[in-house]
Chains A and B, each alone.
Chain A
């Protein structure tokens, strides 16, 4: 059975009001594998923004939408 590892270098997520998070931080906040974040983007459930060189960032507001009933 195929098994992949989570990215080990994920820094602890700060609870301060940041505007956007890296993909790994977003995955950690949601408690899912980071590839699931790409799946959510692909399915249109999560709208990312792009950093200067094109790297995906996840806006805080988008994360809150997914966790809205909490």
Chain B
């Protein structure tokens, strides 16, 4: 068994091909706890996006509460369905004639909404499928922003709570976990590839 700093790597964590030592695992658990709500949201939104991409699963077909949304002062859209719901904002697929739009609606009490309007158009077009695909791609980029920020927070937490420890592999493990939540298919291949390289290295 491979050892690091005299400790065997015996802890496996989600979506990471390597094994963590006791110290690394402790740091990993600390780091995950510090960003648990963001990790949960990453998973929830990622799952919603996969549901939109695969309508056969029925996950993208959510009933919408409002039947109509007004964007700006008079731009009225019929709500087709809710795509993602967060507790202070909802994203809907809307339609007006032959035009489709993905619209984000904010909480009624929001200061941002009071100034900028209660809803904003994120994507528009005449092809429903294309509008949804563009929205999903863009939302994945936004999730990537969240993942980058989350990794930075993890570095900050580890630097404060485990200052003597080399936490490179811990950060790697969390980065991999985020990537898998955002795009599981791509990330599975990336997880397998390093594992194969590592196996070759040991044999040689």
List residues of A (26-70) whose CB comes within 8 Å of B's CBs.
27, 29-33, 35-36, 38-39, 41-43, 50-56, 66-70
Q: Are B104 and A36 in contact (CB under 8 A)?
A: yes
Compute how far the CA of A69 lies from the CA of B115 in the bound complex, rounded to whole angstroms.
Answer: 6
- Given A31-B109, A67-B112, CB of A7 within 8 Å of CB of B85: no
Evaluate whether A51 and B87 lie within 8 angstroms (CB atoms) in the complex, with A38-B142, A67-B111 already known.
Answer: no
Q: When A23-B149, A31-B106, A36-B104 are in contact, do A4 and B87 touch as well, CB less than 8 Å?
A: yes
Within 8 A of A (CB), among B102-118: 104, 106-107, 109-116
Knowing A31-B110, A53-B159 are in contact, say whether A36-B88 is a contact too (CB < 8 A).
yes
B interface SS class: helix
Mark out the residues of chain B between 142 and 159 whose CB falls within 8 Å of any chain A CB in the assembled complex.
142, 145-146, 148-149, 151-153, 155-156, 159
Which residue of A2, A51, A55, A66 has the most chain B CB atoms within 10 A of its CB atom?
A: A2
A11 in the interface, Cβ–Cβ < 8 Å? no
Contact B111 A31 (CB under 8 A): yes
A7 with B37, Cβ < 8 A, contacts A1-B62, A69-B115 known: yes
Interface of A is mostly: loop
Interface residues of B, count at CB 8 A: 42
A5: B residues at CB distance < 8 A: 37, 40-41, 87
Task: State whether A3 touches B86 (Cβ < 8 A).
Answer: yes
Query: How big is the A interface, by class?
Result: 20 to 34
- Asked if A4 meets B45 with Cβ closer than 8 Å, knowing A51-B152, A55-B153, the reply is yes
Contacts of A39 in B (CB 8 A): 104, 122, 142
B47 at the interface (CB under 8 A from A): yes
A32 and B62 contact, CB distance less than 8 A: no
Q: How far is the CA of A17 from the CA of B152 in the complex (A)?
A: 25
Q: Known: A42-B138, A66-B115, A70-B114. Contact between A32 and B89, CB under 8 A?
A: yes
CA distance A35 to B40 in the complex (A): 12
Q: Which of B51-87 contact A (CB under 8 A)?
A: 62-63, 82, 84-87
Contact A55 B149 (CB under 8 A): yes
Contacts of A12 in B (CB 8 A): none
Set of chain B residues within 8 Å of A51, measured between Cβ atoms: 152, 156
Supply 15 further A-B pairs (C-beta < 8 A) apart from A31-B110, A32-B106: A2-B47, A4-B44, A4-B45, A5-B37, A5-B40, A6-B87, A31-B88, A31-B109, A32-B88, A42-B142, A54-B149, A54-B155, A55-B156, A67-B112, A69-B115
